[in-house]
Structure 1
């Protein structure tokens, strides 16, 4: 929809407003403002001429408007501008980068009060001032105006950058360089377009309830998985790219094999059910998220922390979940815990936990490709292509042992063909294949890793990405003459590769603009609405407890939770042992950055401070 109300701030001679007013739809209104008083412009003939032209067209002109205090310049009913323009802002005279950053920061904070919800802020800057990779050449960060970081202070993200062309606005003459009647050097200038970010308010863990038989249970979702449970990406109404890629993958394999799709069961697993993992995947259990289900006969609303909801609105298909009964506990322990009973369960770390139950079923048909899709959850170190929650599709094929080699090769050939086809759908004409699928045999576990050598994410990422696995180690007591192949595919990684989505966190955003990139069933290149987000680096060091083992994966998990997934890198820097006490200290470097929200230095400092407290409490270390 075309903008209806435009606000121009910092107008010098009003030539931009005059030129713009001649090329706009009559239904669009302009409010042109400047900091000067009318008397200050009386001696400028160009300004007088432009003001006359604006008045003749009925354009509103306001003087003495401070762009850092816009809320004071407009009554409540006169706000809600669709676009705000600020061309070549400058504090005047010989103001340095620090002063001009301060001007931008206050301007963006002011814009938040008068901009429509889906409005845009346009800021034109001279070459190099912005400090983003769009500048050619790019200035050092400390020597730039850091426009994206300043915009974050007002809750804005950079959504688009394009060259600023005076020719596109005939008659515009930029002026006001260092408070003089002198033009800025606009060669190489850029127009930066900012939009509102979702409010950066940390989601709180939810307390949820399930009913098993006649008994209600409750549990608190893990803090690190807040916002990642029950998103319904694979459900019927969804057109999320994860569902699109899953449906295309299944449809193509369905051309070669008869398909049997299964409904995915609950992602909660009782302690006993986790023993069915194959030997080559049993290490997954060490990274599982364990949850305590508590018998809940009390007033549910009185439980502390999080928000409440019934399971119909959360995790579904719990009807088949059976819980082992706990050993009897004495009444003193029950009174201390304030509950009648407790059971230990884990969030499913892989769909492979369901393999044995599926192939043991009497109605399992060899020759058919059984398909199971659903979310899985694993603790992991922080890196660009590892994620604590993702969606997995599992393919299970049974066949006669005598036909093992031929059937396995046929499945691998078809799978490679399908994956290669999907990975080329967003390539431009004439482009070389950016990704290739390979099956790398692992002799130790007698299985294959599905790898993709990808250059879709730039020269810094040319390593092999593991997007799945193939194993033939499943055994059935019922079908003793059969052999079984299980293919596991990480749908999130596959979707990232196909659409060129460089950050896995973008798949989980709540920002509605993300899904606007995707049409149902179609695959087109992804265009991010958040460009060049700034990053912030903090170091942390701490003394280890000599009596307890330090778990680095748990350290990464705590950092994820406290930072709400804004820590994108944890780098080990050094290990120090005190020569007298022999106590050991570790030092790490954390890099914070978001992919879809405005993030400020102040917010990061607060997270870092909270992290120091949390690791002391949870990991029993002593921050230095």
Structure 2
């Protein structure tokens, strides 16, 4: 149990009945300083004694006071800010309930208002709020008793109103608290059903960093429309802190391992100014070319690859990925060699050091053009393949591309060169399926550290925020026909997705087409946009504001009339 796993400097309990839980916690020294332990109830003490049993309640109150702790009555858990109390490391609400035959909505309101109230007394990011609910009430996947989500108290969603995220959820074992006798919503003889009850542990979410507005310019007929882009703003920050980004860290580990395995004494990498760079190094063992931009492949000469095994490593390039890709940002890495088998064997050994399974790499013919060679007409492309990984767990994935080309297509004896493009994000996801592509690029530093630790230690990644709420918004609109009066972008699903990704960024979970209508004279579309933030709190009202911005950007770019 989380409550018993550590000692807290200050503890506040709200909604006590017979005070038996406060009694149990003090008996087990949960609070380091009993003078900082506060036990409160909603009714007056006299009402509690009458309602929940005179003998048991009076005994517990006396014990709490004898320990030097404080007992307060007539305390409304939804108005804690009015009390003027100190800050607490732990705030507990056991089996909250509004009383009588209350509706689900009333109990959701109780939770929401309690979380907002408790926020004012929580000791920053070092504080925790613990709420225990009966089986099925919370509405999380951890509940052993499943209800329709609409029939639950939606505890995670209610906590989001107070910028609190769920960090743990575990079965509540009442047997672990000696002397605890839960009392029901009416009297001592009507206990809460504690069997399969769940304790939910919340903490403050880190505030997302302040983003300077990122602007993208969208062509709109004869003019441009400037849209605020959260994605571009995040790219600016990511570009400043590459060494804290897990895909970059993994790419650098690959470089270091290849240096050791291929006896390459130095790898030339470009600086942060993103200028084109192509440098040849001569040494006794190999020649190395450092590449930043794929267009520089045409600068490779046959003499550069005269030795037995040579590599050209590009600096991993952070870029926008395709709309249907795994993430809105990805890292690519280019490696060139005239001994592909040896390079693949080295990749395989490196990858296995980051996986709990055996790895097999192979190349398979592909009709997809090698995307980095569009401007290399001077090179003869002999083969284009997909780079695939087979894992002993049964998972298969495409993690990049391979092509075989001649450096000089006019020379029959020209050296053949293999170019491998590694999509670093996909490699990491295939090696450790527990990690998240969004978390790789999170603006939250702690999230990135947790993910990299899990990946590098071959461990299971556990996100900071468990079961973050999803909010679904349907957007429907009439589509105008084009013409001189409406010279905006023609609407396609890919373009529509692109605008939504640019706007919502990491708060976007999915976009799907629900309905499309066209009778020849007019047409309409309805799309479903699902929002979810895995790092920062996204409350329902903040999500509504974000959806309004998405709607506004759609109407600015496309010839549509929003419904």
Q: Same fold (TM over 0.5)?
A: yes
1:450 counterpart = 2:393: no
Aligned-residue offset at 1:91: 0.6
Contact 1:559-1:611 within 8 A present in 2 as well = yes
Q: 2-side partners of 1:506 and 1:451: how far apart? A: 24
Residues 243-322 of structure 1 mapped to structure 2, 5 A cutoff: 243-259=248-264, 260-264=266-270, 316-318=272-274
Contact 1:239-1:519 within 8 A present in 2 as well = no
Residues 563-602 of structure 1 mapped to structure 2, 5 A cutoff: 563-578=504-519, 582-602=521-541
Residues 223-242 of structure 1 mapped to structure 2, 5 A cutoff: 223-231=230-238, 238=243, 240-242=245-247
Q: Equivalent of 1:489, from 399, 422, 425?
A: 422
Deviations 1:481-537 (A, max 9, x none): 222212121222323343444431112223343245355964432121111111122
Q: 2-side partners of 1:495 and 1:411: how far apart? A: 18
Aligned-residue offset at 1:357: 5.4
The residue aligned with 1:54 is 64
Distance of aligned partners of 1:471 and 1:550 in 2 relative to their CA distance in 1, 3 Å threshold: same
Task: Give 3-state SS (helix, strand or coil) of 1:227's partner.
Answer: helix
Higher deviation after alignment, 176-185 or 435-444? 435-444
Contact 1:416-1:438 within 8 A present in 2 as well = no
Aligned-residue offset at 1:553: 2.6
Deviations 1:284-303 (A, max 9, x none): xxxxxxxxxxxxxxxxxxxx
Q: 1-side partners of 2:298 and 2:186: how far apart? A: 75
Aligned-residue offset at 1:198: 2.6
Q: 2-side partners of 1:103 and 1:134: how far apart? A: 22
1:172 counterpart = 2:213: no
Segments of structure 2 that go 5 or more residues without pairing to the other structure are 1-5, 217-225, 278-290, 370-382, 483-488
Q: How many residues align?
A: 506
The residue aligned with 1:341 is none
Contact 1:420-1:436 within 8 A present in 2 as well = no
Residues 187-226 of structure 1 mapped to structure 2, 5 A cutoff: 187-199=195-207, 203-205=211-213, 223-226=230-233
The residue aligned with 2:461 is 526
The residue aligned with 2:334 is 394
1:561 counterpart = 2:526: no
Distance of aligned partners of 1:352 and 1:450 in 2 relative to their CA distance in 1, 3 Å threshold: farther
Aligned-residue offset at 1:257: 2.2
The residue aligned with 1:541 is 476
Contact 2:402-2:420 within 8 A present in 1 as well = yes
1:615 counterpart = 2:559: no
Q: 2-side partners of 1:544 and 1:482: how far apart? A: 55
Deviations 1:102-124 (A, max 9, x none): 10010111111110112111011
Residues 92-131 of structure 1 mapped to structure 2, 5 A cutoff: 92-118=99-125, 119-131=127-139
Q: 2-side partners of 1:358 and 1:174: how far apart? A: 76
Contact 1:156-1:196 within 8 A present in 2 as well = yes
Q: Equivalent of 1:504, from 432, 437, 455?
A: 437
Deviations 1:430-467 (A, max 9, x none): xxx6x8654332156432222346799xxxxx985432
Q: 2-side partners of 1:361 and 1:111: how far apart? A: 69
Higher deviation after alignment, 22-31 or 554-563? 22-31
Distance of aligned partners of 1:175 and 1:544 in 2 relative to their CA distance in 1, 3 Å threshold: same
Residues 386-425 of structure 1 mapped to structure 2, 5 A cutoff: 386-397=326-337, 399=338, 407-424=339-356
Higher deviation after alignment, 47-56 or 472-481? 472-481
The residue aligned with 2:372 is none
Task: Give 3-state SS (helix, strand or coil) of 2:12's partner.
Answer: strand
Q: 2-side partners of 1:48 and 1:26: how far apart? A: 24
Contact 2:214-2:231 within 8 A present in 1 as well = no
Q: 2-side partners of 1:396 and 1:3: how far apart? A: 56
The residue aligned with 1:294 is none
Contact 1:128-1:138 within 8 A present in 2 as well = yes
The residue aligned with 2:162 is 154
Q: What's the Cα RMSD here?
A: 3.2
Aligned-residue offset at 1:352: 5.8
Contact 2:18-2:56 within 8 A present in 1 as well = yes
The residue aligned with 2:310 is 368
Contact 2:435-2:461 within 8 A present in 1 as well = no
Aligned-residue offset at 1:172: 0.8
Q: 2-side partners of 1:610 and 1:234: how far apart? A: 28
TM-score under structure 2 normalisation?
A: 0.81
The residue aligned with 2:24 is 19
Q: 1-side partners of 2:209 and 2:107: how far apart? A: 28
Aligned-residue offset at 1:619: 2.4
Contact 1:355-1:474 within 8 A present in 2 as well = no
Q: 1-side partners of 2:17 and 2:302: how far apart? A: 78
Higher deviation after alignment, 441-450 or 95-104? 441-450
Distance of aligned partners of 1:124 and 1:585 in 2 relative to their CA distance in 1, 3 Å threshold: same
Task: Give 3-state SS (helix, strand or coil) of 1:228's partner.
Answer: helix
Q: 1-side partners of 2:117 and 2:518: how far apart? A: 51
Contact 2:407-2:414 within 8 A present in 1 as well = no
Q: Equivalent of 1:439, from 333, 347, 363?
A: 363
Task: Give 3-state SS (helix, strand or coil) of 1:48's partner.
Answer: helix
Task: Give 3-state SS (helix, strand or coil) of 1:250's partner.
Answer: helix
